[in-house]
Amino acid sequence: MSKKRPRRQEIEAPSDSEGESKQPQNKDTRKKGAGSFPTMGLLPQLVKAVQRKGYRLPTPIQRKCIPPLLEGRDVVGMARTGSGKTAAFVLPLLQTLKCHSVKVGIRGLVLSPSRELAMQTFAVVKEFSKFMDLRSIVLVGGDSVDEQFAQLATNPDIVIATPGRLMHLCVETKLSLKEVQFVVWDEADRLMEDPTMGTQMREIHARLPETRLTALFSATLPKALADFATVGLQNPLLVRLDTESKLSTDLKTYFLQIQSETRDAALLVLLNKIIVDRSQLTVIFTATKHHVEYLQELLNSYNLPCTYIYGALDQTARKLAIDAFRRGTKTILIVTDVAARGIDIPLLDNVINYDFPASPKLFVHRVGRVARAGRSGRAFSLVSPDEMPHLFDLQLFLGRTISKADIGNNNDNGSGSDSDKNIILGIIPQGLIDEEQESLTMKISINGTVEALKGVMSNACKLYRRTRPAPAPESHRRSKEFTESNSCLGIHPLFQSVIGSSEYQQASIVSALQQYKPKVSHLNLTRLSKEVTKKTVQKPTAKTSRDEEHYLKYTKDGARDDSGYSLTGSFAENARKAIFDLSASVADDPTLRKRREPDSRKKLVTTEFGTKVPASFRSDAYDKWRAKTHLDIQQPGEIESDAASSRAKSILTGNDERRRWRNKRLARK
């Protein structure tokens, strides 16, 4: 009797930087099946590298993006975080270039918005090109410019870079990009949101040849990015398989209403009472770098293993922080939104929104770091009264309803997670808050550093609240109605397992009594009785009302989802439907314009393409490097010089014969 072969199942990608489905390497999975990597027409060397990593089946974004890129068509790919976007462009890039060319010139270019994302992409390129004769380098800010000059002198085939450093090197060395065959804009929505990066992005685009192949990958599609893709790409294909408005089914979300002055105590309750397993990796999102520095010092005073990252942090410190977090020596990472974009940590367990995000898309970007590749994850959000309108913006965006936690309800079995159709808003037991608040006050009083950083954070928080995007007026109205409703806000079911069932019911009742506010005082009873009598005598007047929806719906259920998932129609039409701006309008807000636009008094120089760039891009660093090393970066189109290439490699490895001979001669003198 023959045994049945086990059915092969598709598993989602473990991370955004790797992206393919991993399968056990047994005899049953060795056969090439439909939809596998070998059937896509990849080179044997690429298939070998993919299989060596243990991946068998591509993810949906890879199935839709790799074939058109291999056919030579421009692609705009949209998918949520962790769907495998990196491998969706790395494999076609390596397939297009095939092997090293003796003709000088960069042939593959990948642009990333952050240094961490560029380093992760570089690691993926090195892994998949293990069996191919291709040279790849990474150019990011914070590294030595002299070393990057030497890297360019080795005639690399693939360059992974951040826009600022690439523009600096192009202006400094007069580097030409006319040999580029394949260009990738990774996380392009972040590239376009920053005014400086957007200018650099357009300048780099002007240097590229018209015959290159372009792949643009993003989680969202802002209007500026849609306009850029419409003009800069040739007949692009928009691939939008899953929308960012849909959260992972493995993600459990918890929304906790707090007072602004008890935010720190609420954070400590979550870390000490809920996330009790110190081996779990937790990321805390904050609004500014001042919040990061304050929380890092505060958690260190509680002996909690934490590290931190923000945009202005030194590159070496950033690398050390990420390595410590990945190794598990530090299990808490405190970050800002800008610094966290692109950081790939596939085994993340928890996310805490210390400051509630001002944009629904930003919320999805944050919580998208957990519940990836079939793993479960939790997202905790602290919501203060002034952040309630932003919560209702999120509710409209996700298509869910907000309900208050019931008083004394113990039917949740302590899970307290939100369902797909409901957002449960509850509070933290006052006893837990008081306990942590007392300890917090004592810590701040004996630690002068924490007290000073708290003052700086408070000032930064005031500025952040003035400049953050405003919620919709309708959300303000609905938030006010929700707060003024008769029902009181109960304790969140999440804490039932912490304080016990009986104590949970008692705490809920006490909390309801604390929240009770009589609508009138005894001094107003006489005045109200007169108003009631007056209204009774008066003739009733017509009142206006408005329904939330029409009596008869003119669209079918799920029409918005169908239009979002549709892949038919022109790119301009599909892009127009997918547009969603993550950032506020800079032109309409003078405060944002002052903070985000480049300073007009800053010294600028004009490039050969007419773009103004900082004067620091055109320094004498390259001339000094040439005089010191007696080496030049060859111009694109020339035949590679083996002597120059080997000399540049020896400089990078520290085995330069000329330098050692010169040092010996100086030592004799």
Which of these, 500, 38, 22, lies nearest to 273 by C-alpha position?
500
- Report pLDDT for 658: 55
Mean pLDDT of 230-252: 74
Separation between Cα atoms, residue 381 and residue 247, nearest integer Å: 15
Window from 73-77, 387-391, 397-401, 575-579 with minimum mean pLDDT: 575-579
Quick check: 539 pLDDT over 80? Answer: no
For the segment 439-466, what is each residue's pLDDT rounded down to a tens digit?
999 999 999 999 999 999 999 999 999 9
Task: Output 545 or 422, whichever has higher pLDDT.
Answer: 422
- Alpha-carbon torsion 89, 95, 97, 101, what sign? positive
- Report pLDDT for 88: 92
Q: Output the six-digit token pair for 206.
A: 């002007």
Task: Output 274 or 398, whichever has higher pLDDT.
Answer: 274
Window from 69-78, 200-209, 288-297, 607-616 with minimum mean pLDDT: 607-616
Separation between Cα atoms, residue 318 and residue 312, nearest integer Å: 10
Place 93 in a pLDDT band, splitting at 50, 70 and 90. Answer: very high
- Report pLDDT for 131: 92
- Alpha-carbon torsion 498, 499, 504, 507, what sign? negative
- Report pLDDT for 230: 72
Share of the chain above pLDDT 90, in %: 33
Separation between Cα atoms, residue 363 and residue 378, nearest integer Å: 13
Quick check: 267 pLDDT over 90? Answer: yes
Q: Output the six-digit token pair for 635.
A: 């111009």
Mean pLDDT of 44-71: 89
- Report pLDDT for 106: 95
Separation between Cα atoms, residue 465 and residue 105, nearest integer Å: 48
Window from 135-149, 164-178, 217-231 with minimum mean pLDDT: 217-231
Domains delineated in the chain:
60-242+571-669 (3.40.50.300), 251-471 (3.40.50.300)
- Report pLDDT for 31: 44
Mean pLDDT of 35-60: 87
Place 362 in a pLDDT band, splitting at 50, 70 and 90. Answer: confident
Task: Output 3 or 561, whichever has higher pLDDT.
Answer: 561
Is 138 strand, coil or helix?
strand
Mean pLDDT of 131-137: 94
Q: What predicted TM-score, i.e. pTM, was given to this entire model?
A: 0.65
- Of the CA atoms within 13 Å of residue 634, those in its CB half-sphere come to 22
Share of the chain above pLDDT 70, in %: 69
- Report pLDDT for 7: 37
For the segment 188-226, what is each residue's pLDDT rounded down to a tens digit?
877 777 777 778 888 898 899 999 999 998 876 766 777
Residue 253 β-bridge partners: 379
